[in-house]
Structure 1
Amino acid sequence: MAVTDKAFYKALGRRIADRRKALEITQVELAERLGVAQQTMAHYEGGTVRVAIALLPPLAKALDMSIEGLIGEEPKKLPGKRGPAPRIQRQLEQLSQLPKAKQQAVMQVLDSVLAQAAR
């Protein structure tokens, strides 16, 4: 593996491990979802084995993130498309990085505030 490839796969492995842990998923669970051995998943996370390109879409889906985010690229925004305000978008991205229990707590508070605002 070339030096630049090693750095890329190390960083990719770190992102996979960090996201998996944030979602409170074990290596075994993620490996089962992807149809690979737990040891293979450990090698992916360690950056010692290349992740097959065909595995990127199911991996990104299992980690609830975009392929761009998975490989460390910012998703390109299309001109003219409207979306959430930048601050809200950043907050949503931060929320998606929290463990599921904390996400649910934030969602309950948000639901409560929105219900009161609708009155």
Structure 2
Amino acid sequence: MSDTQAASPKPPQIKNESRVYFAALGKRVTRLRMSQGMTQAELARALGVSQQAVFAYEIGERRISILVAGRLARLFSLTMDQFLGFAPEPTKKGRLSPRAMRHAERLQALSKTQQRFVVRILDVLEKHNKSRGKAGSAPQARN
């Protein structure tokens, strides 16, 4: 073995417990993102990273840097301890997700007649779901 081979550093090995931790953290990112009604692309824009990076974070393939973790914690209104899983997350107070807020704004932009029509459609769908014993689930789209 030559001196140059001995001097070249080996790539750092990720311990199995680290892999497990980052996979769990990635699942938490996915859950938080979806609870906010965000797509991976929207989260990527908010973080200043690529959508591929968000995907890699979510499946635990890429470690989340402390800078990105801080951005994620702020974005989801969590402390770092809460985001990293060292403290319980606060309970929700019934706030709407950004996606639901956008839908509410779109609804408000409609005329009163159109708003009543949309609400009637929602009422019919809700009644239909309850009668089928699937309250809260959306009907399947047909092509």
Q: TM-score per shorter chain, which class?
A: 0.5 to 0.7
More helix by share: 1
Unaligned ranges ≥5, structure 2: 1-13, 102-143
Give the alignment partner of residue 51 of structure 1, picking from 32, 54, 64: 64
- Name which structure has the greater RCO, CA cutoff 8 Å, separation 6+: 1
**Residue 79 (structure 2) pairs with residue 66 (structure 1):** yes
Q: Which residue of 2 aligns with 1:111?
A: none
Q: Aligned with 2:91: secondary structure? A: helix
Runs of 4+ in 1 over 4 A off after TM superposition: none
User: Cα distance, 1:56 vs. partner?
Assistant: 1.4
Pairing partner for 1:4 from 17, 23, 28: 17
For normalisation by structure 2, the TM-score amounts to 0.54
The size of the alignment, in residue pairs, is 86
With normalisation by structure 1, the TM-score equals 0.64
Q: Equivalent residue for 1:95? A: 93
Distance 1:20 1:99, change over 3 A: farther
Identity %: 29
Cα displacement (A) at 1:94: 3.5
Segments of 5+ residues of structure 1 without an aligned counterpart are: 76-89, 103-119
Q: Give 1:87's aligned residue.
A: none
Cα RMSD (Å) = 2.2
